[in-house]
Structure 1
Amino acid sequence: MTVENVSEIALMAGSILLENGAETHRIEGTVSSICQSYGLNAECLSMSNGILLSTQDSESKKITSMKKVCPKQVDLYRIELINSFSRKLKNNKVSYVDAIKTLESIQNSPTFTFPVRIFASCMTGFVYSLFFNGSLIDGIASIFVCLITYLITEKISNFGISQFFKYYLAGFIIGGTSLLSHILLPSIKENNVITGSIMILLPGVVLTNGIKDVIFGYFSAGIAKFCEALIIITAVSAGVGTALLIGMKGF
C-alpha cells in the first residue's frame, strides 16, 4: 500500500474521531497507530478544527497531509468503532479499498432517531429538576420546556447560525418558558425548572475532554476545549438572564 493511501486512511479515521468529540491524545495516538500498522513512521498534530499528518516509509519517502474538520457533534459510539478498527489493523492489515469502506460505514452509521433524542432530552430535564430539590410538577414543567427548547434549537441549527447565538437563544427559551410556566401555575418554581432544563445544554463531554487533554500534556487543545465550554456556558447564562430580566420588568 502506498504512503498516500495510508495517509488517507489515517486522516479519515482521525477526522471521524475529531468531529465526534474525541480527546486530542486519542486522535493523535489512533492516527499514528494506523500508520505504524502499515509500517510507516508518522507524526500527527491534532488541532481544534483539523489534523496535520506527516508520514514516511522505509525508502524515506515523506508526505505531509492535512484535513480540516468543521461540523462537530458528540458520538461516543463512532469513537468506539474507530478504536476497534485501529486495534484490529495491528493484527490484520486490510486493503485500501476495504479500509475506506469500513471507515465510510462508520461515518454513515445510524444515529439515534429524532423522537429518541427528544425523549432523552425531556427525561434529562425531568430527572435533574427532581434531583435539585424540585417537586413533581416542576419536573413535568421541565419536560415541556426541554421539548420546546430542543425542537426550536434543532430547527435553527439547519440555518448555520453561530454557536454562541444558538445557545443564547436556547437559554432565552428555557428562561422564558420557565417563567411563563410559573405565571400560568404559581406552584411551579421557575428556578427549579431552569436548573433542570439547562442540563441538556451544558457541554459536559467537551469540558471533560479538555481536562483529559490538560492531564495528558496537550495544554493548547485542553485550553481550546475549556474556552469552547466557557462560551457555551456564557451564552446559555446570558440567554436565561435576558429572559428573566425581561420577565421581571414585564410583570
Structure 2
Amino acid sequence: MKKLQQPQNYLNDPKAKLLKTSLLAGKIMMANGSEAYRVEDTMKRIVINGGEENCSCYVTATGIFVGLENQQRVMIDNVDQRVINLEKVVAVNELSRQFAEKKITLDVLYKKLIRIDQRVPTFPLWLEIIAAGIISAGAMYLFGGVLADLLITFIIGCIGFSISVLCKQWINLNYFDLFISSFVIGFLSICAVKYHLATKIDPIIIGSIMPFVPGVAITNSFRDILAGHLISGLARGTEALIVAATISAGIASVFNLIGGWL
C-alpha cells in the first residue's frame, strides 16, 4: 500500500508563510485605523518583496483577503475590533520597508509583527486624562468660550474621559461608554452654570466632548471613498456617524431630564 503523505505545516511552506505574514500585517493596520488602500499596498509589497509577483489583496473594514494568482492559495481573516492606534500602523510600515530593503528576513518580520499585534503601547492613564482635559479646555476657547471657563472645562473633560475608561473596563458594550460619558459631561456642565462656576454652557459641552469626536475615522472614511474603496469608506463613515449620534444622544438625554433646571 502507498503510504499517505502527512500534511505539511503551513508555516513551514514559504509561500503560505508569506501570505500569513502579509495577512497579519494587513490586519494590524486595519484594526488600528489605517486606510484600506494603504493596507492593500503594504500587503502587496510584502508578498512581492517575498518573491511572488502575482498576488491579489482585497480589504474591507471587517475582513481581509490575500492570495496568489493562478494558485490555490488564499487566506482570509476578520477584523472584529477597530481602534485608533497609529503607532502600530507606523511600526508595521517601518518593518515592511526593512523587509523590502532586505534588512530583515521573512521569519524575523513575522515574529516582530506578532509582537506588535500583542503589544499595546499606551501612555499612562493619568497622562491621558490630563491630555483629555487640555484638549477640552482648548476646544472650549476655540468655540467661543471665555478664559474664565478654562479650569472648569478642564475638570469636566478629565472626568468625562475617566468615566469612559471605567465604563470600558466594567461594561463590554460598544458605544455605551460614549453615551454615559456624554451624559455626565452634560450634567456637570449644567451644574457648573447653575451654581455660577461657569458662564457659557455650550462651549463647555462642545469642548468636553472633543476627545470622543471620531475625527480620524471620518477623515479615513473620505480618503477610502476617494481612493475607490467604497465599502470600507462607507463602513468607517457609518461607524463614525454612530459614535457622533451616541454622543449627541447622551447630551440630549441630560437636557431633556434636567435642562429646565437652568
Pair 1:161 & 2:172 matched: yes
How far the C-alpha of 1:125 sits from its partner, in A, is 0.2
3-state SS of paired residue (2:104): coil
Which amino acid is the alignment partner of residue 51 of structure 2? G
The count of aligned residue pairs is 248
Pair 1:53 & 2:66 matched: yes
How far the C-alpha of 1:15 sits from its partner, in A, is 1.0
Which amino acid is the alignment partner of residue 157 of structure 2? C
Seq. identity, %: 25
How far the C-alpha of 1:105 sits from its partner, in A, is 3.3
Partner of 1:13: 25
Tell me, yes or no, if the aligned pair for 2:156 and 2:189 is still in contact at 8 Å: yes
Q: What is the TM-score with the length of structure 1 in the denominator? A: 0.92
Tell me, yes or no, if the aligned pair for 2:139 and 2:210 is still in contact at 8 Å: yes
Tell me, yes or no, if the aligned pair for 2:99 and 2:105 is still in contact at 8 Å: no
Partner of 1:70: 80
How far the C-alpha of 1:103 sits from its partner, in A, is 1.2
How far the C-alpha of 1:162 sits from its partner, in A, is 3.0
Tell me, yes or no, if the aligned pair for 2:37 and 2:224 is still in contact at 8 Å: yes
Segment drifting more, 91-100 vs 195-204: 91-100
Tell me, yes or no, if the aligned pair for 1:19 and 1:73 is still in contact at 8 Å: yes
Q: Which runs of 5+ in 1 are unaligned?
A: none
Partner of 1:174: 185
User: For 1:129-174, what per-residue CA distance to the aligned partner results, in whole angstroms no more than 9, with x for missing partners?
Assistant: 1111211232211111111111111111124533332222221111
Tell me, yes or no, if the aligned pair for 1:11 and 1:51 is still in contact at 8 Å: yes
Segment drifting more, 110-119 vs 227-236: 110-119
Tell me, yes or no, if the aligned pair for 1:37 and 1:93 is still in contact at 8 Å: no
Tell me, yes or no, if the aligned pair for 2:58 and 2:65 is still in contact at 8 Å: yes
- 1:84 aligned residue (67, 79, 94): 94
Tell me, yes or no, if the aligned pair for 1:14 and 1:31 is still in contact at 8 Å: yes
How far the C-alpha of 1:250 sits from its partner, in A, is 4.5
Q: Compute the RMSD of aligned alpha carbons.
A: 1.8
